[in-house]
Amino acid sequence: MHTALRCPMCGTMNPVTNVQCDQCQARLIPMVAPGYAEPEQVPISESYPPLTSPEEQIEQPVESVTAEIEPTDREAGDWLAQLRAAAEEEEIQETETMGEPIEPVELPTWLRSMGPLGVEARPTPAQEQPFAEAPAEGEEAERFQEPALAEELPDWLRKFAPPAAPPAPTPPTVEAVPEEALPTLPPPAPAEEIPDWLREIAPPPAAPPTPTPPTAEAAPEEALPTLPPPVPAEEIPDWLREIAPPPAAPPTPTPPTAEAAPEEALPAVLPLVAAEIPDWLRGIAPPPAAAPEAAPPTAEALAGRPPSAAPEVPEWLHEFAPAEEEAPGEAPPETAPPVPLAVQALAEVEAPQIPGWLAELRAETARPPAPTVPTFEETGEAEGLARAEIPDWLKVMRPRPEAAGTTIKGEEPVETEGPLEGLGGVLTPTSAIQAPAIHETLRTPELSQVSLSRAQLLQSLLAQPAEALQPEAPRRGIGTGERLQRWLVAIVLLIAVGSTLLAPGGGIPTLTTPAQSPVADGRMDFQRLTRAYDLVQGMHAESTVLVAFEYGPPEADELNLVAEPILRHLLAQGAHISISSTRPEGQAIAARLLRDISASEEQYTSLGYRPGDAAGVSQFLSTAGTRPALILILTAQPGPLRWWIEQTRALYGDALPVVAGVSAALEPAASPYLDASAKQLVGAVSGLSGAAAYETLRNPAQQANPRLNALAAGHVAIVGLIILGAVFYVLGSPRGKGK
């Protein structure tokens, strides 16, 4: 076996598996275009034919090629028909454009050193003649077949030399071949003419003679099936197997249904083979006999060919081959597609002897053009594997190429992308509305008695009918008695107050006593009134009195009566009055009151409204330009009274006296500030009775205030009504009747 490849550039020996030289990185294996890979990868013929010129290759009989194709064709199934048809069309086109035979070119020096007998294979004028027209002489043929240089060969080459010419390659049918066909072989060059360097590497000359191909006319078709069997691939040197061009011409596009290929087409096909062979390899081309001229496989030949070539098909081809059980023992149909020659040739080479680079090319070449995916059953049975049981759930997920892009069941779409491409019915389409947004893990409910009781309680509550809305209670009409009560109260009050006011001197007695009465001297309210009076009495013309009008129109009728005597007193003392209020209507009340008492605008100043309640009071007191001599608070509400008292005490302490004129209802609220220990209020005038007392203090001659009499009459009337009502309801009606 040849175990190394010589680098054509530097001569370094490299392992056969190398594609490039380890020394100079030159490519050891010629680059082959993918498009022309098929004819070039066809292995060397089994018979190690002698090198012949392209012209000789043209004369290769079609029948011999057909005989070699037949086994493979029969093994090939229908799936190769498309490949053959496609290759046929391509090659026809190329043949038409490259129909002219290519002249052989001289081999480069480096190739001569590699190619065995390259020089000798150069055609001679005699060899250029067709075999049939220029039969070789018998002596030359014998001399060519003699191993004249056998003793000169080195030992290492002898083992690569093909067996002796007569035995193996000589087919039994050669006898039938006329002797005239043999002289067509080129005579071997004399040993003297061979340089020494070439003798060392030249293979034995006895190798080529055997497969002398008969001419098309000389070789009868009956002898074709009996052609010598191919030489085992083991006998071919590795170096030759790698560099030798494929002996088989590219498959001639022949229709499989043709009974016999028209021989006229061969000359047009064979030049194509020669044209596809690189020039550098043309000289060392394999014998034309091995070139599998694509001939139409006749039905007879296909039928008579035993299926002996089946084991030669490599395993990787089994994947693309149809199952045997699909065509058991039957003659291949006439419409069987031709087997690609590349595939056929590769099938004849043992897989372990193919280097890696060739295996890649083979894989690329043998790649099925059509995207037909063999089924699992076909592939498995072709390789002799036992068919395994596929679970049903897995069968459902089995890809179904025929349904790609469509629906399998009409409702189950096939996935067209992603890892599930080609699978159908895997993902059940579900409406997005039905899909919950959040998937929660269901937990096994662990119900306790407490939970059950609560659930039952909730259920019972929910089962209860909703309470009807409470109808609005019908408005109870006002009864006659109640109407009479209302009219009675109104009439009594109107008569009591109105009569006193309208006819003060009309025979109605005075109900009140003067404020200076001895009885009133010891009362608390009179003492507070007296202190307020004394304080106002101490004001003078340069004094400024700050008066806070903290009441509105609803309280104006009462507080105006309280404020009027005090303001008159202040104006009488000549004090200047500054008016302020924390209520918006306070300024208007003050202006009206001062206008009523005929005060001139020079005697009082309106300081405006002070918002902010206590803060407004504080801000007003702190920003006042001049400190007042007295602060008079006129209010009917406890809030303003507290604000003014607290803020005045906070800012001025005891230095600024404060007096208040409040309503009768507010007197209890002002009493704490009027306490002698507190002294937050120096004095106060409370209500209409206090105002009357104040007037009495200023003018002792003035007697009872007529309004005080009206107030007293009203109080007496209300007390009478209360007593009347109490007697009526206690004595006149049963208990709880009015509820």
Partner 1 sequence: MSKLVKRWIPGLLFATLPGLVVLFGYLFPSPLLVYWRDALVEWAVIVAAFAFLLGLFNILRVHGERIGHRRKGWLYSLVLLLAMILAWIPPILPANVPGQDMLDRAVFDYVISPVGAALAALVVFTLALAAFRLLRVRRSAGAMFFLLIVVVALLGSTPLTGLERLADIRDWIVSVPGMAGMRGLLLGVALGTVVTALRVLVLSDRPHSES
Site for partner 1 in 695-714 (CB under 8 A): 708, 711-712, 714
Tell me the C-alpha to C-alpha distance, in Å, between residue 696 and each of 513, 566, 690, 693.
11, 12, 10, 5
Residues contacting 472, CB < 8 A, separation 6+: none
Of 427 and 494, which has the nearer Cβ to partner 1?
Answer: 494
Nearest-approach distance from CB 602 to partner 1, in angstroms: 17
Under the binding rule (CB under 8 A), the answer on residue 56 touching partner 1 is no
Q: Which of 247, 280, 188 is nearest to 68 (CA)?
A: 247
What is the pattern of x (binds partner 1, CB under 8 A) and - over residues 275-304? ------------------------------
Task: Sort strands 13-15 and 544-550 into parallel, antiparallel or unpaired.
Answer: unpaired
Furthest CA-CA distance within the chain: 189
Of 527 and 573, which has the nearer Cβ to partner 1?
Answer: 527
Of 4 and 488, which has the nearer Cβ to partner 1?
Answer: 488
Among 7-15, 314-322, 532-540, 661-669, the segment contacting partner 1 (CB under 8 A): 661-669
What is the pattern of x (binds partner 1, CB under 8 A) and - over residues 108-137? ------------------------------
Nearest-approach distance from CB 453 to partner 1, in angstroms: 39
Q: Which residues between 522 and 561 bind partner 1 (CB under 8 A)? A: 523-525, 552-558
Nearest-approach distance from CB 559 to partner 1, in angstroms: 11
Cα angle: 648, vertex 650, 652; to 5 degrees: 60
Residues contacting 506, CB < 8 A, separation 6+: none
Nearest-approach distance from CB 505 to partner 1, in angstroms: 16
Of 353 and 513, which has the nearer Cβ to partner 1?
Answer: 513
How buried is 34 (Cβ within 10 angstroms: 0-12 exposed, 13-18 middle, 19+ buried)? exposed
Of 395 and 737, which has the nearer Cβ to partner 1?
Answer: 737
Under the binding rule (CB under 8 A), the answer on residue 483 touching partner 1 is no
Residues contacting 593, CB < 8 A, separation 6+: 549, 560, 563, 564, 567
Nearest-approach distance from CB 732 to partner 1, in angstroms: 10
DSSP secondary-structure letter at 611? -
Which H/E stretch holds residue 167?
none
With b meaning 16 or more CB within 10 Å and e meaning fewer, what string describes 415-425? Answer: beeeeeebbbb
Among 110-118, 128-136, 194-202, 481-489, the segment contacting partner 1 (CB under 8 A): 481-489
Q: Which residues between 607 and 646 bind partner 1 (CB under 8 A)? A: 610-613, 615-616, 618-619, 622-623, 642
How far is residue 221's CA from residue 63's CA, in Å, rounded to a whole number? 6
Q: Please report, in angstroms and rounded to a whole number, the separation of the first and last CA atoms in the chain.
A: 132
Nearest-approach distance from CB 664 to partner 1, in angstroms: 6
Which H/E stretch holds residue 333?
none
Q: Which residues between 666 and 695 bind partner 1 (CB under 8 A)? A: 667-669, 671-672, 675, 687, 689, 692
How far is residue 57's CA from residue 40's CA, in Å, rounded to a whole number? 15
Of 438 and 519, which has the nearer Cβ to partner 1?
Answer: 519
Nearest-approach distance from CB 648 to partner 1, in angstroms: 13
Nearest-approach distance from CB 729 to partner 1, in angstroms: 4
Of 351 and 650, which has the nearer Cβ to partner 1?
Answer: 650
Q: Which of 551, 456, 526, 472 is nearest to 674 (CA)?
A: 526
How far is residue 462's CA from residue 456's CA, in Å, rounded to a whole number? 10
DSSP string across 25-57: --BSS----GGGHHHHTSPPPTT-PPP--HHHH
How far is residue 21's CA from residue 14's CA, in Å, rounded to a whole number? 6
Which residue from 24, 351, 457, 722 is in contact with partner 1, where contact means CB under 8 A?
A: 722
Q: Decide if 664 contacts 689 (C-beta within 8 A).
A: yes
Q: Decide if 179 contacts 218 (C-beta within 8 A).
A: no
Of 471 and 732, which has the nearer Cβ to partner 1?
Answer: 732
Q: Decide if 337 contacts 78 (C-beta within 8 A).
A: yes
Nearest-approach distance from CB 525 to partner 1, in angstroms: 6
Nearest-approach distance from CB 391 to partner 1, in angstroms: 59
Q: Decide if 635 contacts 548 (C-beta within 8 A).
A: yes
Of 453 and 733, which has the nearer Cβ to partner 1?
Answer: 733
Q: In this structure, what token pair is assigned to residue 363?
A: 């894989």
Q: Which residues between 577 and 596 bind partner 1 (CB under 8 A)? A: 584-585, 588, 591-592
Nearest-approach distance from CB 449 to partner 1, in angstroms: 42
Q: Which residues between 1 and 40 bind partner 1 (CB under 8 A)? A: none
Using DSSP, state whether 607 is helix, strand or coil: strand
Nearest-approach distance from CB 514 to partner 1, in angstroms: 8
Among 41-49, 189-197, 217-225, 717-725, the segment contacting partner 1 (CB under 8 A): 717-725
How far is residue 56's CA from residue 94's CA, in Å, rounded to a whole number? 21
Of 353 and 671, which has the nearer Cβ to partner 1?
Answer: 671
Q: Which residues between 494 and 523 bind partner 1 (CB under 8 A)? A: 510-515, 517, 519-520, 523
Nearest-approach distance from CB 629 to partner 1, in angstroms: 22
Of 578 and 618, which has the nearer Cβ to partner 1?
Answer: 618
What is the pattern of x (binds partner 1, CB under 8 A) and - over residues 396-415? --------------------
DSSP string across 624-655: -SS--SEEEEEESSHHHHHHHHHHHHHHHGGG
Using DSSP, state whether 660 is helix, strand or coil: strand
Of 324 and 585, which has the nearer Cβ to partner 1?
Answer: 585
Under the binding rule (CB under 8 A), the answer on residue 721 touching partner 1 is yes
Q: Which residues between 329 and 348 bind partner 1 (CB under 8 A)? A: none
Of 512 and 530, which has the nearer Cβ to partner 1?
Answer: 512
Which H/E stretch holds residue 282?
helix 279-282
Which residue from 158, 409, 454, 715 is in contact with partner 1, where contact means CB under 8 A?
A: 715
Phi and psi torsions of 295, nearest 5°:
-115, 150
Please count the residues of this chain forming the interface with partner 1, following the rule CB under 8 A.
73
Nearest-approach distance from CB 667 to partner 1, in angstroms: 6
Nearest-approach distance from CB 508 to partner 1, in angstroms: 13
